[in-house]
Chains A and B, each alone.
Chain A
Amino acid sequence: MLDFLNAVIPNVMDKPDELWLSTCQTLYMLAVSGVIAFVLGVFLGTVLTVTAPGAIMDNKKVFSALGGTINVFRSIPFVILLAALIPFSRFVVGTAIGTTGALPPLVVGIVPFFARQVESALSGVDPGLVEAAKSMGSSNIGIIFRVYLKESIPAIIRVTQITAISLIGLTAMAGAIGGGGLGDFAIRYGHQRGQTDVTYVTVLVILLMVGVIQYAGNYFIRKLSH
């Protein structure tokens, strides 16, 4: 077995520790930026939903300011965002390099996308439910938590799945400009030194992560849909 692996993927087999470290770095970036982006995205997506014209907290100023900002950030290519946010990262996390330095651009890069996804998930909530909740005397906060968020749990899981997969792509890109992780690993060895087997193994590891996200997401969606 070992002989076989040594023969097929020699360049990976001579640095397994580095592969493992890169995988951990990717998981670290994914987890930390993912959790922060999840909270921010759900918050902003909810704000967009409830401040929309005719919604429970209709507020044109907030709605258009937030919507506009999101659109601007969504249209900036991620590589440019990485460079542009270097001073911001230094200010927030004290460094602009390494996996920690990659966190601010990852969050800024994914939140606008996720907020829009959450907004569309919440828009699937039947306005009749909001009306019924109002008629029962629910407050706006009550409606947000007990109707909008509660009723869209499966939809939110679905968009989280999609976003997490996009986020893996972003971590790879962030890695390429000094963030570490699997992207960095693949570029340094697979691309720059022509060790194609490194590239393929990296792809496999990433596919595995995507698979786990898909599987776990689908499991919870099935369990929580009625």
Chain B
Amino acid sequence: MIKLSHISKTYYKAGKAIKAVDDVSLEIRDGEIFGVIGFSGAGKSTLVRCINMLEHPDEGGKVEVGGEEITSFSESELRAVRSKIGMIFQHFNLMPSRTVLENVLYPLQYRGIPKAEQRRKALKLLELVELSDRLQNYPRELSGGQKQRVAIARALASDPQVLLCDEATSALDPTTTLEILRLLKKLNQKLGLTIVIITHQLSVVKDICKRVAVMEHGKLVEQGDVFSVFANPQKEVTRNFLKAATSLSKADVLAKYRPDLLHLQPGEKFVRLTYTGPGVSEPLISTVSNRFFITMNILFADVDLVDDAPIGGTVGVFSGEPENIDAAIEYLRAKQVKVEVLAHA
């Protein structure tokens, strides 16, 4: 559906070149939900704006959408292409002087569509996003989630095959985020819509994306299906996302700033076990306790489902004979559990 080849985008500011996107190639399949994740400034927005050519990539890059190479299109041809690619934004970007209905009518007007037909279509879309009772409200009278649903209806008005979402849930609370993600999933299934989701929230990717690309400093550093990327991260950034997203990262803070709170006795080890394989369901901790005569005092655990497979870990203190603890760690590592010793007495 979408194919980007060697996309770069350089901005020049005060004579200095900033490479916002650096040689990115990727392919997004028809009807899939594809995530692009990266920390702030990674170049995600710039990349997604190259897909509908709101931003012209540097010489040499190629953008193909629906089999057409649009990089060489004229401005008026691009306008036609853009109306076939829906886009929604972090801050919704609804027109404040227009009602909900008028906002959805916006992309339908001045295109030779009869008035009655425009209206029929807008009403149908607003029904799809469950806002039929808010037609005459102005955007400022709506909640964030409602605004985003209006924006989605508006983006769908010209029957696009692709929907680009730039941080579409970043300004919403967790419950509303779930509600919007559920709507996107429904649209994906019902309309066969290809969806590209830009986000810095791992939870969003885990929730609805099939495949993901990780961006850092303008480069695409990792990509693949969500489970394999996050179960077995190859790059530091990807790991950081995982850590930042789970409570397991609290362990670092504890080890670094308040080791006194752990009351570690000589020989004890403060560890973090991260499960990267399908073995989480095995009772690993009780197995090692029995087998190596050690105890694990669990401080906290966080196990999550990514793309329906478990991922996560446990943080706690091992106590027992030092050689037994070491043997237990060896055993766990053999079972594809990542073991980090964060502190010892």
Contact = CB atoms under 8 A, between A and B. Distances in A.
Interface of B is mostly: mixed
Given A131-B54, A147-B95, A226-B96, A136 B158 contact: yes
A23 B91 CA distance: 51
B217 interface: no
Interface string B20-64: 000000000000000000000000000000001010000000000
Interface string A144-155: 001100110100
A95 interface: no
Nearest to A145: B110
A146 B106 contact: yes
A142 interface: yes
B80 A129 contact: no
Contacts of A146: 106
Contact of B54 (A134, A142, A224, A226): A134
A126 interface: yes
Contacts of B107: 136-137
Contacts of B106: 133, 136, 146
Chain B: interface size category: 20 to 34
B96 A135 contact: no
B85 interface: yes
A131 B89 contact: yes
Interface centre among B97, B107, B140, B151, by most A CB within 10 Å? B97
Interface string A192-214: 00000000000000000000000
A151 B54 contact: no
A134 B97 contact: no
B270 to A, nearest CB: 47
A69 B52 CA distance: 37
B93 A126 contact: yes
Contacts of B96: 151, 226
A75 interface: no
Contacts of B79: 137-139
Contacts of B87: 132, 135-136
A77 interface: no
A107 B54 CA distance: 39
B110 A142 contact: yes
A178 B82 CA distance: 58
A16 interface: no
A224 B138 CA distance: 12
Contacts of B82: 134-137
Contacts of A131: 54, 89, 93
A142 B82 CA distance: 14
Interface in A6-62: none
Interface in A168-226: 224, 226
Contacts of B154: 136
B100 to A, nearest CB: 11
A146 B81 CA distance: 20
A151 B83 contact: no
B83 A136 contact: yes
A153 B80 contact: no
Contact of A128 (B54, B89, B164): B89
Given A224-B97, A226-B138, 7 more contacts: A131-B93, A135-B85, A136-B87, A136-B155, A137-B83, A150-B95, A151-B96
11 contacts: A128-B91, A131-B54, A131-B89, A132-B87, A136-B82, A136-B107, A136-B154, A137-B81, A138-B79, A139-B76, A150-B97
